[in-house]
Structure 1
Amino acid sequence: MNNLVYFSNKRKFEGTYMSATHTPNPRAEDGALNKKRRQADLDRLRDGAAKGELPDLLVIGAGITGVGIALDAASRGLDTVLIDAHDLAFGTSRWSSKLAHGGLRYLATGNVGIARRSAVERGTLLDVTAPHLVHKLPQVVPVMNVFAPLTRILPRMGFLAGDFLRIIAGTSATTLPLSRTVGKQRVAELSPTVRKKDVQFGYVNYDGQLRDDARLVTAIARTAASYGATVLTKVRCENATGTGATLVDELSGEKFELPARTVVNATGVWAGDVDSSIKVRPSRGTHLVLDAAKLGNPTGSLTVPVPGYTNRFCFVLPAEHNRVYIGLTDESAPGPIPDVPEVPEEDITFLLDVINQALETPLTREDVNGAFAGLRPLIDSGEGNTADLSREHALLEADNGLISITGGKLTEYRLMAEQTVDKVISKLGITAPECLTRRIPVLGSDRRGMDRARTAAEAGRIPMALFNRYGAESQEVIDSCPLERPLDPVAEGIDVTRAEFAWHVTHEGALSVDDILDRRTRIGLVAADREAALPAAEEALKLA
Structure 2
Amino acid sequence: MNASGDSLRDRSGALSPASRAHALDALAAAGAAGGELDVLVVGGGVVGAGTALDAVTRGLSTGLIEQRDLASGTSSRSSKLIHGGLRYLEMFDFGLVREALTERGLLLTRLAPHLVTPVPFLYPLHNSWERPYVGAGLALYDTMAHTGRYDAGLPRHKHLWRRQVARIAPDLRTDDLSGAIRYYDAQVDDARLVLTIARTAARYGAHVATRTRVVGFLREGERVVGVRARDLESGVEFEVRARVVVNAAGVWTDDIQELVGGRGALNVQASKGIHLVVPRDRIRSECGFITRTDTSVLFVIPWGRHWIIGTTDTAWEFDKAHPAASRADIDYVLSHVNTILREPLEADDVEGVYAGLRPLLRGESEPTSKISREHTVVTPVPGLVMIAGGKLTTYRVMAADAVDAAAHSLGTTTDAVVRSSITDRIPLLGADGYAARANQRVELARRARLHVSRIDHLLSRYGSLVDDLVDLLLLRPELAAALPGADDYLAAEVVYAVTHEGAQHLDDVLVRRTRISIETFDRGVDAAGPVARLMAAELGWDDARVADEVDHYLRRVEAERQSQAKATDQEADEARVRPRHPA
2:138 to 136, 159, 164: 159
The answer for the alignment partner of 2:233 in structure 1 is 251
Residue 532 (structure 1) aligned with residue 517 (structure 2): no
The answer for the alignment partner of 2:506 in structure 1 is 513
3-state SS, counterpart of residue 533 of structure 1: helix
Q: Are the equivalent residues in 2 in contact too, given 1:98–1:209 (CA < 8 A)?
A: yes
Output the CA distance in 2 between the equivalents of 1:193 and 1:200: 16
The answer for the alignment partner of 1:386 in structure 2 is 368
Aligned 1:129-168 pairs, distance under 5 A: 129-144=111-126, 154-168=133-147
Letter in 1 for 2:108: L
3-state SS, counterpart of residue 31 of structure 2: helix
1:292 to 280, 289, 293: 280
Output the CA distance in 2 between the equivalents of 1:99 and 1:399: 35
Q: TM-score with structure 2 length normalisation? A: 0.84
Output the CA distance in 2 between the equivalents of 1:304 and 1:376: 20
3-state SS, counterpart of residue 371 of structure 1: strand
Residue 179 (structure 1) aligned with residue 169 (structure 2): no
Output the CA distance in 2 between the equivalents of 1:196 and 1:459: 44
Residue 455 (structure 1) aligned with residue 440 (structure 2): yes
The answer for the alignment partner of 2:495 in structure 1 is 502
2:18 to 16, 25, 36: 36
CA deviation after TM superposition for structure 1 residue 149, in Å: 6.3
The answer for the alignment partner of 1:214 in structure 2 is 191
Q: Deviation above 6 Å: which 4+ runs of structure 1?
A: none
CA deviation after TM superposition for structure 1 residue 225, in Å: 0.2
2:420 to 404, 429, 434: 434
Output the CA distance in 1 between the equivalents of 2:442 and 2:165: 30
Residue 420 (structure 1) aligned with residue 402 (structure 2): yes
Per-residue displacement from partner, 1:363-386 (whole Å, max 9, x unpaired)?
Answer: 122222221111111111221111
Q: Are the equivalent residues in 2 in contact too, given 1:103–1:116 (CA < 8 A)?
A: no
Output the CA distance in 1 between the equivalents of 2:166 and 2:479: 38
Output the CA distance in 1 between the equivalents of 2:32 and 2:343: 66
Give ranges in structure 1 of 5+ residues lacking alignment.
1-5, 14-26
Q: Are the equivalent residues in 1 in contact too, given 2:486–2:527 (CA < 8 A)?
A: no
Output the CA distance in 2 between the equivalents of 1:262 and 1:193: 54
CA deviation after TM superposition for structure 1 residue 315, in Å: 1.3
Q: Are the equivalent residues in 2 in contact too, given 1:483–1:502 (CA < 8 A)?
A: no
Output the CA distance in 2 between the equivalents of 1:436 and 1:351: 41
Output the CA distance in 1 between the equivalents of 2:286 and 2:510: 25
Output the CA distance in 2 between the equivalents of 1:52 and 1:180: 62
CA deviation after TM superposition for structure 1 residue 7, in Å: 3.2
2:471 to 479, 485, 494: 479
Q: Are the equivalent residues in 2 in contact too, given 1:265–1:404 (CA < 8 A)?
A: yes
Output the CA distance in 1 between the equivalents of 2:436 and 2:232: 41
Per-residue displacement from partner, 1:193-234 (whole Å, max 9, x unpaired)?
Answer: 112444432101111111x00000000000000000001100
CA deviation after TM superposition for structure 1 residue 83, in Å: 0.6
Q: Are the equivalent residues in 1 in contact too, given 2:30–2:37 (CA < 8 A)?
A: no
3-state SS, counterpart of residue 443 of structure 1: coil
Aligned 1:362-377 pairs, distance under 5 A: 362-377=344-359
| 117 and 370 in structure 1: CA distance in 2 versus 1, 3 angstrom threshold | same
Output the CA distance in 1 between the equivalents of 2:10 and 2:22: 18
1:319 to 294, 303, 307: 303
Q: TM-score with structure 1 length normalisation? A: 0.90
Q: Are the equivalent residues in 2 in contact too, given 1:453–1:475 (CA < 8 A)?
A: no
The answer for the alignment partner of 1:101 in structure 2 is 83
CA deviation after TM superposition for structure 1 residue 80, in Å: 0.5
Q: Are the equivalent residues in 2 in contact too, given 1:10–1:79 (CA < 8 A)?
A: no
Q: Are the equivalent residues in 1 in contact too, given 2:7–2:206 (CA < 8 A)?
A: no
Letter in 2 for 1:515: D
The answer for the alignment partner of 1:20 in structure 2 is none
3-state SS, counterpart of residue 395 of structure 1: strand
3-state SS, counterpart of residue 465 of structure 1: helix
| 301 and 240 in structure 1: CA distance in 2 versus 1, 3 angstrom threshold | farther
RMSD between aligned residues: 2.1
3-state SS, counterpart of residue 496 of structure 1: strand
| 28 and 131 in structure 1: CA distance in 2 versus 1, 3 angstrom threshold | farther
The answer for the alignment partner of 1:279 in structure 2 is 267
Q: Are the equivalent residues in 1 in contact too, given 2:272–2:355 (CA < 8 A)?
A: yes
3-state SS, counterpart of residue 37 of structure 2: coil
